[in-house]
Structures are given as structure tokens and as C-alpha cells.
Structure 1
């Protein structure tokens, strides 16, 4: 039986609900009583799937354990199965416990002299503070249920590990002893549980929006709590300076209502541009940028996937792996536009094909333009490290790379329509009429990554696979075509004014 189907009077709290309540009591109340308002993002779904995969793989650190299943069993049944396993098992996966009306499942329990060790597995690259709160509530429940815990660990991925052959689970994972920190949090856990229980007996808490809406996780109830925030609000304010939540607490909601003497730098620039609905143009700086380019000029964009568990040799956890690129180019300024592209086949290491085709498409010494070039250049460096025979050519591309984001990030060219953002998704529609990502089946890099993973599942379904490939090619091509169009805008804006005859 799923958690949401359990009688509320029996288990209003579980580990996940407790953690939701630690972040915001209102979120926990809504999750309990108004689950229909829940909006789970694509990113959250991907993180859940990735975390589940990591959790299963981490069991191989202590193999041959007993698994306590979740699906199809009530909380009480899972607790009963756990109690039976404790009598004979050395290692237990997903052991279930209740105490003080709270239900938890421990990722791994390992029997040792004097008791049991608890291991909480996280699909991240480092220990984070809220993981300690997570481990602390589990310790509280398990210890309170009568089981003796001798140590508590948080297990996370080791990004220094580079795969070479079969996965080495002991090298892939890092185990950090957090027993001291967990014990220090026990009194706070007990108090927080009491606060959450009292809160759940009342009406929806009157809690306004704040930094807790996205820290440590993005809340699933943004649509409910943020629905009254107006267009062009203080939360569009970008850059360092005045804090948007401070303004909001003072009753200032709209960007136009911010007192100008509170702002400076880019925030003041953004506010003034929005008030006057104007475009900022620094012709001199734009011409300097144009002078830094040479022809033939190549516009390059990579699409990448990342996996918490490295799929191929030479990869580390969470390493971005290019599986696709789009390349537009011109032999001379304003000349004919050419295009080339590459999209790897699913379930094969894409790096060799990417390097081979890219070096065929980009001549040695050519000027290459990217948008936020550090991303593309870092991928090229990683490819060069993996293919040392191609290192010289790949580094030549890096050395001749320019960044199209520079004039927009520095606001040598800025439109009030960008709302403070210099993302290409914001800049493109601000300057190029009728061109955006809204009509594409794939509209951002996260969706492209998910599409690649879909390709890997659809390898034996050619019709569905062909459609996903088509969508990916359209999206990546849009990125480099967008760069072409934005460079044309820069050329036009940098041109000196026409002289009267």
C-alpha cells in the first residue's frame, strides 16, 4: 500500500514527511490534507529515479542482505517482516520501523558486535547538512523502537572515482561516519516531531513564501503558494544587492515599485530598463566583441547526459557526457549559412563518434562561437583527456573559442524583456521576433537529457525512437541557429548611425 493511502490518524509522519516539514510546515500540511495541489517537477522525478538507482547499487557494498519490500505491504506488515529478519539476517535493506507514530525505512542495516550500523544512501556527490537531519530522524525512530544502533553513516558517491572495467562499489561510494552529529540532533528531532504533530491538528499554517521554498529542495506546492505573485515582480530582480524576499516582506511586490535609491549596479540598470521598457546598447563594446571574431566562424552547441553511476570506462559520477552537437557555420560575415549535426546511437558510448565527426566538421584554427563557452570547452577538455591522440586538435578548438554570452552577460546589449536573465532562452525572444523554444517538443537541456535516456529505453522500438531523435535534432539545431540570429542582432546594434545626405 502506498504511503498516501495509509490512514492519516495512524501515520501522519514518515521520514520523507518529517523532512518536508522541517523545510516548511505549510508544505507538510498541504501534502497531508491537500495532495491534489502537488506539482512534481520533471527535475524532481529524475532525481527520485536517480536516487533509487543509487540506493539499489549501494547494497552491493554489503551484499546478500535481506530486502524488506515496500510495494503491496502496509507499514505494519513491513515492520513485522523487519522484526523477523532481525533475528537471523546480517544485513537488511529497507528495514522498516515505527516509533512515536513515525515510520521510517533504513537503506542499509548491518549487524556488528554490540548492535547494528545504519547506512543512509544519498545519490549526491557530498555530505550536506540536511542529510544529517535525515539520518537523525531515522536514528531516533530505530533507536526508539528498541534496536541498538552503534553507528550512523551517510553514503554518497565519490566523484574522484573513474570507472575502469567493472564497477568497484567500494571506490564508487564514500561512507562518512555521522554518529556524533546524529546524536547531537536527537533532542531537536523530538521537539520538531512534537511541533509538526501539533501543526497537523490545526488549519493550514499561515506561512508566507521565503527562501525555504527552494532550500534544500524545490517545494512541490509552488503553484499554490506563489500564485498571487504578479508579473514583473521583485523576484525577477537579478544580480547581487537587494534581497527580493526583504522587499516582499516590506510589502513591495512589483519591480516598478522598488525605491530606486535602494538599488545599484545591474539591479538598478534592470529596474530602470523595465520602467522605461528600453533596450541598453553599448556600441563600442559590441564592436570590440565583433572584432574578436574571425571567419570562417562556427557556432557550436553540445547536448549532454549525466549519470550518477558512470556507464562507460573513463567516466566519473555526474560527469557530463556529450551525445549530440549542432554546428552552424559561415565562411564570411553575412555569408551563406551551413549546418552539420551529430546524434549518437543509444546505449553506446557516444564520445568516440562525437570526436571523430567534430574534428571532421571543424577545420583546424577556425574560430568557434559558443553560448556560455565554459560548458563546451570543459566537455572538449574531458574528451581530450580520454582521447590523448586527439588532444592537440581538441585543444585547438578550445583555444579558438569565443563566448557569445559575454556581451549579454556584461549588458552591453540588454532588453527589459530579458527580466534580468542572460540565458539564451530569455535573450532570444527578447531580440528575435517569432523565435523561441516554446513550440519545440524539447525546450531545454534537462528535457534533452531525459530524451536521451528515453532513446536508450526505446532502442528496439524504431518508430518511437525516430520521433525522439527528430525532437532532439530540432532542439539542438535551434540552439546554434539562435546564436546565428543573436550575432546578427549584435552586428545591427553595433553599426554606427547612418549619416544624413
Structure 2
């Protein structure tokens, strides 16, 4: 197997992943691919190209020679850029490059001929001599990388890796170390290795400011330390990937020195693995990995010590489970479908009052803030649903708002919200920290509405509280207190509360993507998507109503 930077970083996460994608690709679960993250990466990458001013982008030549042709084009573009510096009077130490001045002239002349003719690469060739090259391809002994941004200096190159994240992760440094290793193997002198990422503190004000949107950090020292071991690790990864048998790695502490499969925290970090279901196929369920709220390290520490099943957990009286995990084990031991602590539920319900409003927001977020006053990845509310009981015997009312696409929705939504929520109402949300954060953001953005919005925010109570505390637990919800887990567990087979029966939008991620796409749809498509968004958000608050009613029944009210 030859390595790319993505294959290499996957191998750093788990060598077995490379073997499986080579020999058993049909086992891969594509649902681990986050399309919104990929889209954000593409948008950020395109913008980052212009950070240093003029640039030339080396195209992807899938049908015109593939990576070999791309690497050859990159070498010509680099040579032309170095020669342009020399012709501008800059002193160039030619021994710092894998080509001499004569070869650089030949490369430059070849690009000039392409630019003058009908060559498909004429537009690229016409930019020859530019000292900033994007998507530059390098190949050494079959291993290759594509550098996001390559800055040409007289005596070497500066490598810039671009990420859409707002912070630095270790995996990025491994990515950069592999790139440096390939470039050095190609004969290049790498002067600096930097990471360009989105600056989370940037606030848009008018035209997009690339210098504000991006932060650039010199990570040369850390990359150099990692690059020293890339060759050895690359050889190991290739050996694993090319082996005829699936690798079985030793797991410390397991009886007999070996786990059924070499599982660990790396199965989900730094990225979720698409082969997890295969490697975890013999892990007992229910077991320690189903217990709510536990950190991965604790789960694996017990698993490696032989405490795997709920029976194992129950046999360890010294374990401090916590309220919700204790409920899980109790339900397993007793076979109870629903466990409830009526006094605790009554205390929770007694803390609510009428009018009682059930509130849910839908939001979208973008790496590049689309409107003034927004930061990267800031949650922008675009929709809300509100079910209301004005009194104990009053009918259930519903109010909703869905913004128009293409414009900043916050002002219109804030005005609709203050008009829809009854004065003095108790506002129920499920996982209230999210709703409270959205309302706070609106209050900060619109001071004239702040007093009313702050009053609404102060009245928010969390319907998730009794579920997190284990005061109401349904065995079918497993270790999750998400409304998508709790609802079908308490109302199995209820078509009124079935998200899978909704038209078009069935979860929050789909709702976020659907709203983002609205502006690009024709009228009929947009109307259909809007109907789906309204139905989805409406069900979120109706679900809360039914859960509140169910808590009342379990509390004996």
C-alpha cells in the first residue's frame, strides 16, 4: 500500500483501520462521514487560498495522468516560482532545490508554451512564477501528499496546512509531519510548517476579512519532532495494511493478554471509525459501554479488567455508578420496562407553572459567518416551535416561526418569540442550556428586546432534568437521555411521535442542512422543505408535551 496524508493519519489513529479499508472495504459504515464538516472544510480551504494574496491553484488531474501528472505540474510551478525570484534580482541558492537553474528555465518555458496554446492547463500555466501554490502535489516512492498552501522562498518552501477547526488538534500535527517527510524525500528544504485555522474570536463586520477570519500558528518545532518518526511508522503501517491476515493487537490487562478485538478510545477519537461495528461485534451488550455519562477511559479500564457486562457491574458493589447508570443496571436486573421515583417527579413538576410553554429552536452554523455580528460556527436560530397550555384545563395551542432563507433571521425570530411566549410563562426546554444560550445571544444582539428576552430566559426550566437524574428511566432508552431515545422508549409504536414518519426532515442535522439549502431551491422544492422543517420542529415540542404528561402520570398526579 502507498500512503497519502489521510491514510497515514488514519493509520496513526488505528493501524487496523488501514488493513480493513484495504481488504474489507465493504464493512465500512459511511454514516460516520459528516457532510457538513466536509462542506465547511471545502469552503474554508477555498477562502484560505487567498490569504497571502495572489496564488496559483494546481488542479486535480484525475483524467489527465493522475497524481503523477499533478506532481510533475507542481514541480514545474515551484521551479518557475524560484526562477521568477532569481529574475527579480533575489539571490537564489540553487543547491537548496531539487533542480538547477537550467532545469528551472526548461520548466518555465514548458509552462509558457502551455499558456500560449490550447492546453487544458493554459490558465494555470499562465500564472507560472506565482510564489504561492495551492493544492501542490508531491510524490516520493509512491507516497504522496497535497499541500494546502505552499509558499516559495529563495532557499526553500513554507508549508501551510489549512483546517476549518477553531483549535489545534494532535492529529493535525501528524498530518503536517507526513507532508514534511514527503517533501523532504522529494528533495525540498522545508523552512517552516504552519497551521492555518479559523479564529473563533473573529466577529464579522462588513466584508469578510481573511486576516481576521484565520489564525496562523508556526508549528515547525512540534512537526520536526514527529517527522523524525514518520519513516519508521509509515513502514509499519504499510506492513500492517499489506498483511494477509486481519491484525489482532494485544490489549493490556485482558485475561490471557488479548481482547476479542483491539478496541479502545481510538475507535471514536480523533474521528469516529467506520469499521467500529465490525471490531465491536463481540463486545457484550448491555455492558459498560452502555452506561450513561461515563468517560471512555473509565469504561475501558473496567473492560480491560474483565468487567464487561451488566452482570459484571452488578457483581462489583464497590463501583460508584451514579444515579442514571444505577437505574440502567436495576432495570436490567428486575426486567422493569419503566422505573420512576414518584416523589422526585412530583417535586420537579411542582416547580413548573402556567402558562406553560414548550420551546424548541432549530439553528444553523457556518464556519464562515454569513452575517455581520456573527462569529465562526455561532449558532444562528432560524426557527422555533412553541406548544402552550395557558391553564390546567386550557386547550393545547401551537405557535411557530420559520425564517426566510438568504437573510439574517435573528431579528425577525426574536420579535416573533417575544410575541409568542405568554407574559410570565414557565418555559420548558429539553436540554435547556441550548435554548438559554440562543435566547442570550438574541438579547445581546438586540438591546431593545433584551428585557423581554431575559425574562423568558429566566423562566426556562429543563424537562431533561428528571431523566438525567434517573427519576424516570425506560429500559429501552439505553444509556441515552436524548429526546430521540426517551420518546420511543416511553411511547413505543406511537405513530403520532414517530420521527421516521416525518416528510423530509427527521433529525437536527437534517434540519440544519435543509435550511442552509433553502436559498438555492426553486419555489416548489423550497415549499416542500419548509413544510418538512415546520413538521419536524413541531414534533419536537409536541414530544415534550407528551413527556411532561407522562411524568405527571408516573408521579401520580
**Post-superposition offset of 1:222:** 2.5
Aligned to 1:305: 364
Which of 24, 28, 31 pairs up with 2:14? 24
Aligned to 1:4: none
**What CA distance in whole angstroms lies between the structure 2 residues aligned with 1:256 and 1:466?**
52
- After TM superposition, the structure 1 = structure 2 runs for residues 443-458 of structure 1, keeping only pairs within 5 Å, are 443-458=506-521
**What CA distance in whole angstroms lies between the structure 2 residues aligned with 1:443 and 1:229?**
30
Contact 2:32 2:274 in 1 (8 A): no
**Post-superposition offset of 1:380:** 0.9
**What CA distance in whole angstroms lies between the structure 1 residues aligned with 2:39 and 2:55?**
22
In the TM superposition, what whole-angstrom CA distance separates every residue of 1:35-70 from its partner, at most 9, and x where no partner exists? Answer: 333222265222112111111111121122111112
Aligned to 2:71: 79
**What CA distance in whole angstroms lies between the structure 1 residues aligned with 2:219 and 2:268?**
25
Which of structures 1 and 2 has the bigger CA Rg? Answer: 2
Which of 39, 47, 53 pairs up with 1:57? 47
Aligned length: 484
Contact 1:425 1:436 in 2 (8 A): no
**What CA distance in whole angstroms lies between the structure 2 residues aligned with 1:240 and 1:36?**
32
Contact 2:18 2:240 in 1 (8 A): no
**What CA distance in whole angstroms lies between the structure 2 residues aligned with 1:269 and 1:307?**
39
Q: Higher mean Cα deviation, 137-146 or 69-78?
A: 69-78
Which of 367, 384, 388 pairs up with 1:329? 388
Aligned to 2:58: 68
Q: Judging changes above 3 Å, is the alpha-carbon distance between structure 1 residues 415 and 341 closer, same or farther for their aligned structure 2 residues?
A: same
- After TM superposition, the structure 1 = structure 2 runs for residues 102-113 of structure 1, keeping only pairs within 5 Å, are 102-113=143-154
Which of 184, 196, 214 pairs up with 2:225? 184
Contact 1:260 1:268 in 2 (8 A): no
* Structure 2 residue 347 is matched with structure 1 residue 288: yes
**CA-based RMSD:** 1.9
**Post-superposition offset of 1:394:** 0.8
**What CA distance in whole angstroms lies between the structure 1 residues aligned with 2:230 and 2:131?**
28
SS at match of 2:228: helix
* Structure 2 residue 159 is matched with structure 1 residue 96: no
**What CA distance in whole angstroms lies between the structure 2 residues aligned with 1:182 and 1:465?**
47
**What CA distance in whole angstroms lies between the structure 1 residues aligned with 2:395 and 2:286?**
39
Q: Higher mean Cα deviation, 83-92 or 204-213?
A: 204-213
**What CA distance in whole angstroms lies between the structure 1 residues aligned with 2:459 and 2:26?**
52
**What CA distance in whole angstroms lies between the structure 1 residues aligned with 2:357 and 2:518?**
28
* Structure 2 residue 528 is matched with structure 1 residue 467: yes
* Structure 2 residue 549 is matched with structure 1 residue 488: yes
Aligned to 1:408: 467
TM-score by length of 2: 0.83
Q: Judging changes above 3 Å, is the alpha-carbon distance between structure 1 residues 21 and 43 closer, same or farther for their aligned structure 2 residues?
A: closer
**What CA distance in whole angstroms lies between the structure 1 residues aligned with 2:344 and 2:224?**
58
Aligned to 1:236: 290
Contact 1:442 1:472 in 2 (8 A): yes
In the TM superposition, what whole-angstrom CA distance separates every residue of 1:176-214 from its partner, at most 9, and x where no partner exists? Answer: 110000011122212110101211221222252221111
Which of 341, 361, 374 pairs up with 2:400? 341
**Post-superposition offset of 1:269:** 3.0
Aligned to 1:273: 331
Q: What are the ranges of 5 or more consecutive residues in structure 2 without an aligned counterpart?
A: 82-129, 250-261
In the TM superposition, what whole-angstrom CA distance separates every residue of 1:2-61 from its partner, at most 9, and x where no partner exists? Answer: xxxxxx5xxx21111111111111111222233333222265222112111111111121
In the TM superposition, what whole-angstrom CA distance separates every residue of 1:309-345 from its partner, at most 9, and x where no partner exists? Answer: 1011111001011111110001112531000111112
**What CA distance in whole angstroms lies between the structure 2 residues aligned with 1:342 and 1:147?**
57
**Post-superposition offset of 1:261:** 2.4
**Post-superposition offset of 1:113:** 4.5
SS at match of 1:417: helix
Which of 177, 180, 197 pairs up with 2:238? 197
**Post-superposition offset of 1:466:** 1.8
**Post-superposition offset of 1:427:** 1.3
- After TM superposition, the structure 1 = structure 2 runs for residues 138-153 of structure 1, keeping only pairs within 5 Å, are 138-153=179-194
Aligned to 2:26: 36
**What CA distance in whole angstroms lies between the structure 2 residues aligned with 1:255 and 1:71?**
54
TM-score by length of 1: 0.92
SS at match of 2:367: coil
